[in-house]
């Protein structure tokens, strides 16, 4: 499958929100600022990934790959592109919360972490404090 990864734009937000909502992922506080990258192919937007920045710490937000593109390496490519972009901006560590994708992110080098070791910035985020359930798996990766 052929696709291109590019920075997200303001016009991508409505489509991204619709895709995320259909997948049951949180969108209540999602803005263009947190929408990081999209992958596009012949069928339009194939995948999206977001990130919130807290100084040298980033919170990976809602990686979503369209059912049409799953198993094609699009998600892995988006995560890798996000890591390169984040590192270039001075982010040294990425954190994320997931309900059921911890095996996927483990394969990408993320480690499960105890919620009480999360940095204050992550604990203070809406995703950690209210949008994700308390049983969501917390993971991190040094870049």
Strands 111-113 and 137-142: antiparallel
Specify the number of domains making up the chain. Answer: 1
Per-residue DSSP letter, 136: P
Tell me the per-residue pLDDT of 117-143, one tens digit each, with 9 for 90 and over: 999 999 898 888 877 877 899 999 999
Distance CA 8, CA 1 (A): 20
Domain coverage including residue 92: 4-142
- For position 65, which CATH number holds? 3.40.630.30
Q: Where are the alpha helices (DSSP H) in 56-113?
A: 74-88, 102-107
Query: Considering the entire predicted model, what is its pTM?
Result: 0.91
Q: Which residue is it, tokens 């997931």?
A: 98
> Averaging pLDDT over each range in 4-8, 18-22, 128-132, which range is the top one?
4-8
Residues paired with residue 93 on neighbouring β-strands, in sequence order: 57, 142
From the CB of residue 10, how many other CB atoms can be counted at a distance below 10 Å? 9
Q: Which pLDDT band, with edges at 50, 70 and 90, does 25 fall under?
A: confident
């Amino acid at each position: 499958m052929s696709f291109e990864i590019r920075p997200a734009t303001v016009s991508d937000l409505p489509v991204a929100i619709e895709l995320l909502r259909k997948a049951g992922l949180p969108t209540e506080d999602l803005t263009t600022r947190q929408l990081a990258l999209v992958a596009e192919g012949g069928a339009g937007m194939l995948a999206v990934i977001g990130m919130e920045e807290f100084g040298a710490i980033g919170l990976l937000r809602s990686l979503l790959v369209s059912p049409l593109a799953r198993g094609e390496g699009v998600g892995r490519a988006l995560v890798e592109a996000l890591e390169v972009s984040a590192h270039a901006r001075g982010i040294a560590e990425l954190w994320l919360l997931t309900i059921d994708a911890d095996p996927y992110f483990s394969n990408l080098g993320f480690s499960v972490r105890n919620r009480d070791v999360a940095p204050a910035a992550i604990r203070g985020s809406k995703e950690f404090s209210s949008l994700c359930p308390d049983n969501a798996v917390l993971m991190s990766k040094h870049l």
